Amino acid sequence: MTEVLTDTKPIRLKGRSFLALVLSPEPPFDDWLARLDDLAARSAGFFLRRPIVLDVDGLEMDGAELRGLIEQLRERHVRIMGIEGADPTLLGSDMPPAMAGGLPASDLEEPDEDAPEIESEPAAPSLMVTQPVRSGQLLTSEGDITIVGSVASGAEVIAGGSVHVYGTIRGRVVAGSMGNDAARIFCRKLEAELVAIAGYYKTSEDFEDELRGQAVQLWLENEAILGDTQG
Amino acid sequence: MGKAIVITSGKGGVGKTTSTAAIGAALAQRNEKVVVVDFDVGLRNLDLVMGAERRVVFDLINVIQGEAKLSQALIRDKRLENLFLLPASQTRDKDKLTPEGVERVITSLKKAFDWVLCDSPAGIERGPTLAMRHADAAIVVTNPEVSSVRDSDRIIGLLDAKTVKAERGEQMEKHLLLNRYDPMRAATGEMLNVDDMLEILSIPLLGIIPESTDVLRASNIGAPVTLADSRSETARAYCDAARRLSGEAVPITVPGEKRGFFGKFFGRKAA
């Protein structure tokens, strides 16, 4: 008898890429583990709950050695999510899966004792424009954008950070384009066709009457774009 | 060395050709040597407005293709001896307009004339881009309506990006010519007001030309409006614009805001 599926809803499968820390052990492994312990001692919790990929490419090791190394790491609370560069025959079903196709990302610095934060990304450079943004022009920056002038109808400004317009917005302005929901939009006069913060947008028709034509700041709160007038 | 000026707008029908002819004639009346060049290949009109349509033998494309010499293609105006026309081709393919050819023609015209006025076709495609490419300055013709203002804004953006001058990192000189301004509609608030347009486009104002039937009458008789009836309000506005273009400081007058005798007395409300 075949099973009848009562629920016809399909299972959603998606591909997604993540940034993982890659550990590359060097023989002799005892020395390498000692150095790892030293790093862990200087910054507690460095490896805790982080996805780690073990890169054993070019290392001469048999199944028992690899298994032993993973065990040693597990004792140090380093959880291996995958193994890169290992002979597939070495990997048993109880071991992390093989990974391939990794792309290099910028190196992570070893943390200092004074600076336990390791994830402080460098601030994206901001863009300063001292001319009006004309219709048909597109301005983009990963950081903030400051415009000394107006943004014309039919022009588009897209910033990863906040957008400051010392003039009138008549075109489209997108702040927090990469999901930064703390980004804001400031302008001397709001006559925009569309504004958006972190993917939430508002068209000119949706503006409150008291904001239209005024000097305002706009921000995102509970998935809604709010604004108030600036003196 | 003369100065090449492109008369452009983005939008069609705003008065580029009329303005080219009128300003060209106004400059020529001031004893400057002027050539007006029609870049509207396939839809030429400048020859009609100049009243030279029956005298066209060779055209811009012939010169670019090397089929005629520049001196053979230039048509001297019958009324002003230092005003010339270089007509566009009505039949040839506009792709024959090459960047190198345009540069060569404009360079040689600048050596022989004080002013080279290039009448650009409408749009933002190849023709208009080539017309503006080698210009030293631009006159942006705009009507007081939103579509015209937005298209002008787009053209100003292109002037600052796609011209040789802009690519060299120099500042392109731009002038706004506000055309077909209707004092009656301005008074009732049906039309965009001058200050708003200047604020949006933020380039200096060269002049305000009133909407008038003089323009139609002039083009029907094949004369630039500045020659057809030099005392009309439109002709005076164009002459003032030409004077400003050559560097004279002429105060701007908004058509319809001239006050009569009583207006002068009672025109200002007490604070």
Q: Is residue A52 part of a domain?
A: yes
In one-letter notation, the amino acid at residue B81 is E
CATH code (residue A200): 2.160.20.70
Q: Is residue A1 part of a domain?
A: no
Average pLDDT of the segment spanning B73-83? 95
Contact residues on chain A for B195, CB-CB shorter than 8 A:
none
Strand A216-221, strand A185-190: pairing:
antiparallel
How close does chain A come to B173, measured CA to CA in Å? 14
Query: Between A103 and A59, where is the model more confident?
Result: A59
In this structure, is residue A116 part of a structural domain?
no
Measure the CA–CA gap between B200 and A133, rounded to whole angstroms: 10
A2 lies in some domain: no
Residue B14 pLDDT > 90: yes
**Inter-chain touch A150–B199, beta carbons under 8 Å:** yes
Query: Nearest-CA residue of chain A relative to B203?
Result: A132
Query: Looking at the structure, do residues A135 and A210 belong to the same domain, yes or no?
Result: yes
- Note whether A195 and A150 are same-domain residues: yes
Q: What is the DSSP letter of B178?
A: E
Residues of chain A positioned with their CB less than 8 A from the CB of B200: 150, 152, 170
Considering only alpha carbons, which residue of chain B is nearest residue A151? B200
Same domain, A148 and A190: yes
Q: Could you tell me the end-to-end alpha-carbon distance of chain A, in angstroms, rounded to an integer?
A: 75
DSSP result, A83-129: EES--GGG--TTSPPEE------PPPPPPPSS------PPPPPPEEE
Q: A43 is in which domain, residue-wise?
A: 21-99
**A170-179, B91-100, B175-184: segment of lowest average pLDDT:** B91-100
The reply to whether A179 and A93 lie within a common domain is no
Determine whether the interchain pair B157/A131 forms a contact, defined as Cβ–Cβ distance below 8 Å: no
pLDDT at residue number B262: 44
Instruction: Tell me the mean pLDDT in the region A63-90.
Output: 81
Q: How many domains is chain A built from?
A: 2
Cβ atoms of residues B71 and B58 within 8 Å: no
Per-residue tokens: A91: 């990997």
Considering the entire predicted model, what is its pTM?
0.69
Min Cα–Cα distance to chain B from A164, Å: 18
Report CB contact under 8 Å: A136, B154.
yes
Q: Which residue has the higher pLDDT, A158 or A43?
A: A158
Band of pLDDT at residue A81, cut at 50, 70 and 90: confident
pLDDT in tens, A147-205: 999 999 999 999 999 999 999 999 999 999 988 999 999 999 999 999 999 989 999 88
In a domain, A111, yes or no: no
Q: How many CB atoms lie within 10 A of CB B104?
A: 16
What pLDDT score was predicted for residue B260? Answer: 42
Q: How far apart, in Å, are the Cα atoms of B140 and each of B6, B43, B123, B153, B235? A: 8, 20, 13, 9, 18
Query: Which of A136, A149, A170 is opposite residue B157, by nearest beta carbon?
Result: A136
| Range with the poorest average pLDDT among A27-41, A95-109, A141-155, B27-41 | A95-109
Cross-chain Cβ contact B157/A134 below 8 Å: yes
CB-based contact A177:A187 (threshold 8 Å): no
Domain membership of residue A114 (yes or no) is no
Please indicate whether residue A214 or residue A87 has the higher confidence score (pLDDT): A214
Residues of A in contact with B146 (CB under 8 A): 153
Cβ contacts of A150 on chain B, cutoff 8 Å: 199-200, 202
Of A70-74, A191-195, B2-6, B73-77, the poorest mean pLDDT is in A70-74
Q: Which residue among B124, B154, B202 sits closest to A149, beta carbon to beta carbon?
A: B202
E-strand ranges in chain A read: 21-23, 52-55, 80-84, 98-99, 127-129, 138-141, 145-147, 156-159, 163-169, 172-175, 185-190, 194-197, 200-203, 216-221, 224-229
Residue B157 has pLDDT above 50, yes or no: yes
Q: Is the residue at A106 inside a domain?
A: no
Give the chain A residue whose CA is nearest to the CA of B151.
Answer: A135
- B57/B226 Cα distance (integer angstroms): 26
CATH number for position A54 = 3.30.70.260
Residues of B in contact with A131 (CB under 8 A): 160
Residue A107 in any domain: the answer is: no
Chain B residues within 8 angstroms (CB to CB) of chain A: 124, 146, 150-151, 153-154, 156-158, 160, 199-200, 202
Distance between CA atoms of residues B151 and A127, nearest Å: 26
Mean pLDDT of chain A: 82
What was the pLDDT predicted at B230?
86
pLDDT digits (tens, 9 = 90+) for B206-250: 999 999 999 989 989 999 999 998 889 999 999 999 999 999 999
Residue of B nearest to A152 (CA): B200
Work out the minimum CA distance from B107 to partner chain A, whole angstroms: 29
Interface A:B, Cβ pairs < 8 A: 34
Q: Which of A40, A25, A23 is nearest to A111 (CA)?
A: A40
Q: Are residues A135 and A223 both part of a single domain?
A: yes
pLDDT at residue A79, rounded to an integer: 78
pLDDT of residue A115: 46
- Ranked by mean pLDDT, which of A216-230, B85-99, B178-192 comes out on top? A216-230
In our burial notation (b when 16+ CB lie closer than 10 A, e otherwise), range B226-255 reads bbbbeebbbbbbbbbbbbbbeeeeeeeeeb
Lowest model confidence (mean pLDDT) among A86-100, B45-59, B105-119, B174-188? A86-100
Judgement on whether residues A141 and A208 belong to the same structural domain of the protein: yes
Beta-carbon contacts of B174 under 8 Å, excluding residues fewer than 6 positions away, are: B137, B138, B139, B140, B156, B159, B203, B204
Distance from CA of B153 to the nearest CA of A (A): 6
Would you state the pLDDT for residue B160?
93
A81, with CB counted inside 10 A (0-12, 13-18, 19+), is middle
Distance CA B7, CA B30 (A): 20
The residue in chain B having the minimum alpha-carbon distance to the alpha carbon of residue A153 is B150
Examine the domain organization and report whether A161 and A204 are in the same domain.
yes
Task: Judge if A134 and A224 occupy the same domain.
Answer: yes
A68 and A140 in a single domain? The answer is: no
A150 with B200: Cβ contact below 8 A = yes
Q: For B33-50, what is the mean pLDDT?
A: 94
Looking at A80, A99, A118, the residue that finishes a domain is A99
Is 60 exceeded by the pLDDT of residue A9? yes
pLDDT of residue A111: 47
Residue partners of B191: CB distance under 8 A and separation at least 6:
B144, B145, B181, B182, B185
Pairing of strands A145-147, A163-169: parallel
Average pLDDT of B51-75?
93
pLDDT for B264: 44
Q: How confident is the model at residue A59 (pLDDT cuts 50, 70, 90)?
A: confident
Q: Residue for token digits 């060779």?
A: B58
Which residues in A have their CB inside 8 Å of a CB on B? 131-132, 134-137, 149-150, 152-155, 168, 170
pLDDT band at B150 (very low <50, low <70, confident <90, very high): very high
A109-123 confidence digits (pLDDT tens):
554 545 444 455 566
Count how many residues are written for chain B.
271
Do residues A88 and A141 share a domain?
no
Q: Which two tokens stand for residue B160?
A: 């600052």
Alpha carbon of B217: minimum distance to chain A alpha carbons (Å): 35
Q: What is the pLDDT of residue B267?
A: 43
In chain A, the percentage of residues whose pLDDT exceeds 90 is: 42
- pLDDT band for B142, please (50, 70, 90 cuts): very high
